[in-house]
Amino acid sequence: MNRKRPGADPITVTVFVFPGVRLLDVTGPIEVFTTANEFGGRYRVRIASEDGSAVMSSAGTRLGADLSVADVREPLDVLVVPGGPEWESLIKDDALLDVVRSLNEKSRCTASVCTGAFLLAAAGLLNGRRAATHWRHSRQLAHRYPAVRVDPDAIFVRDGKMMTSAGVSAGIDLSLALVEEHYGAEVARSVAKDMVVFMQRPGGQSQFSVRARTSHTTQDVLRRLLDAVAEDPGANHTLAAMASRAGISVRHVTRLFHEEVGTTPARYVEQVRLEAAQALLETSDDSMPLIARRTGFGSPESLRRAFVRNLGVTPAAFRASFRTTHAGERDLVPAVLPPRPVHDRPVTESAAN
């Protein structure tokens, strides 16, 4: 989509709503586009429902509609298709899928939020295309629609005129990318600052807390070890130190991590430290030596090696990823590659010391 010039016609954004739609899937993009109008953007945002009536969201909030689908006549600049918790029922609604197809035919860009990707896929609009959805449902999307090339870690993806995004708040990321594409990085950056969100969220969906992703364990001793690493990544977390704190053998610690976490203690510690370093790069102006010390990597070179090995970029490049949504790239995907699975990397115990 070409960059809009000041004074050009407004860009029309139509958000399609239906009973059970997730509220933030709707309001997140609307907030981005309407806020952009305060900083030089020109968007005309409207909500369309099948018959023009208000619908009840999954949160129990009633959403009014500006027009019915039948009233949508002119070409749409952007069509937003949100998702809903009951997506399994929605994809069986043939009438709803027909509406999605008809709206897509009129749109120049069709963008889904979260499980809205299932509606696009069920309507046959993602066949042969790359797509993203909430990490929890990515396997389901790939299984149900094998013609769709699902990227399980992308925050958002663009393939042709179709854009799909990950869970809920990722609709904000996608919308910011469109604002940058339409009106430039400065406008998008102003919107991000005003909404107190990232201009470009680092990493993919795998960024979500290592500790939160760790399977629940009934082993109290292991839970205390995991919490200790998360609370102070820069502390001494060698295998011997963990065994000493827990009052168990090194062999027992290794076995607990293998059985309950699915990786080695060293690999787990590195992942937590990497996450902590990412957070400091995102939120502070601390120097690389200070970040390396605070997160347990010790030196900037060790920090750099961990970033390159896990993310494919240097810490400096990671920090720089906040300056743009990378909307001008051919495929809109996260600027930073996600970490490879921990079991695929030959990390030695000394690397986590």
pLDDT digits (tens, 9 = 90+) for 319-345: 886 555 555 444 433 333 334 333 333
Res 292: pLDDT: 95
Residues carrying an active site annotation: 114
Q: Any idea how long the chain is? A: 353
Note the Cα 310 to chain centre separation in Å.
18
Res 56: pLDDT: 97
Of 150, 182, 61, 166, the C-alpha closest to 116 is 166
Res 211: pLDDT: 52
89's tokens: 């029922």
Please state the φ and ψ torsions of residue 307, each to the nearest 5 degrees: -65, -45
Res 35: pLDDT: 96
Res 348: pLDDT: 40
Query: Strand, coil or helix: what is 49?
Result: strand
Query: Strand, coil or helix: what is 77?
Result: coil
Res 140: pLDDT: 92
Of 82, 89, 92, the C-alpha closest to 133 is 82
In contact, 163 and 143? CB cutoff 8 Å: no
DSSP state letters, 89-100: HHTT-HHHHHHH
Of 279, 242, 245, 235, the C-alpha closest to 264 is 242
Low-confidence ranges of the chain (pLDDT < 70): 1-7, 198-218, 321-353
CA distances for 40 relative to 14, 184, 318, angstroms: 20, 10, 29
241's tokens: 């130190």
Torsion sign, CA atoms 285, 290, 295, 298? positive
Res 151: pLDDT: 87
Res 200: pLDDT: 57
Sheet holding 11-16, edge to edge: 67-68, 43-49, 11-16, 78-81, 110-112, 162-165, 156-159
In contact, 171 and 24? CB cutoff 8 Å: yes
What string of H, E and C letters represents the secondary structure of 291-318? HHHHCCCCCHHHHHHHHHHHHCCCHHHH
136's tokens: 């929890």
Res 111: pLDDT: 97
Res 147: pLDDT: 97
Res 4: pLDDT: 57
DSSP code, position 352: G
What is the set of domains in the chain, with CATH numbers?
Answer: 11-195 (3.40.50.880), 206-323+341-352 (1.10.10.60)
